[in-house]
Structure 1
Amino acid sequence: MPVAILPDIGEQMCIGCALCVEICTTLGPDVLRVKPVEGWKRGKAFVFYPERCIADGACIGVCPTKAIFWMRPMDFTVGQPVPLYKNSVFVKGWTELVD
């Protein structure tokens, strides 16, 4: 599995403006998508194609609520959405990377 430093999006802070998705798509990497959220008009951004990220930080720069930040290096499966949280708890910790 590849390992990368990827953007992470705090779902509580994301207002669903999709500026990050627009800039990422315009610049070429096309890493982010917007998913529908029950009870929320716009939806929320999330990392869908982690293997495409070029780590330029454009998405971080356009986020009006600072909901996007760099996260730790992580393993991911090419072509699969990155499941960062499970029941609002981070699934893997730093110690799990050390074998």
Structure 2
Amino acid sequence: MPVAILPDIDEQTCIGCALCVEICTALGPDVLRVKPVEGWKRGKAFVHYPERCISDGACIAVCPTTAIFWMRPLEYTPGQPVPLHKFGRFTKGWDEG
């Protein structure tokens, strides 16, 4: 099974600028989308197709609020939903946040 290092987005920090969605779509993987959020004019970014992620970090690099972070690497089966390790952020090693 492949191992994935995937981005995740902190909805509290995301300002809905969609720069991450634009760069991801422009580079090809097309992983991210913007979802409407009640009471928020622009919506918020989220990971829609995690299995397409190529782990290049472009979305992380363009985020003005550092709302995007790497998730713990997990094994997954292509074509199946990718399990995410909730709150497993990479800072100075994998931390159980």
Structure 1: gaps (5+ residues): 95-99
Tell me what 2:21 maps to: 21
Shift of 1:73: 1.9
After TM superposition, the score normalised by the length of structure 1 is 0.75
CA contact (8 A) 1:49 1:79 kept: no
Structure-2 residue corresponding to 1:12: 12
Deviation string, structure 1 residues 7-50 (Cα, Å, up to 9, x no partner): 01000000000000000000000000000000000110000101
Could you tell me the percent identity over the aligned residues? Answer: 81
Whether the 8 Å CA contact 2:13–2:67 is kept in 1: the answer is yes
**TM-aligned CA distance change 1:54 to 1:69, over 3 Å:** same
Cα separation, 2, equivalents of 1:44 and 1:83: 21
Distance 1:46 1:79 in 2: 18
**Cα RMSD between the aligned structures?**
2.5
Distance, in Å, in 2 between the alignment partners of 1:79 and 1:15 is 30
Where in structure 2 are the equivalents of 1:50-89 lying within 5 Å? 50-74=50-74, 78=79
Q: Which amino acid aligns with 2:63?
A: C
Consecutive aligned runs of 4 or more in structure 1 exceeding 6 Å deviation: none
How many residue pairs end up in the alignment?
88
Give the alignment's TM-score, normalised by structure 2.
Answer: 0.76
Equivalent residue for 1:32? 32
- 1:76 to partner: Cα distance: 5.6
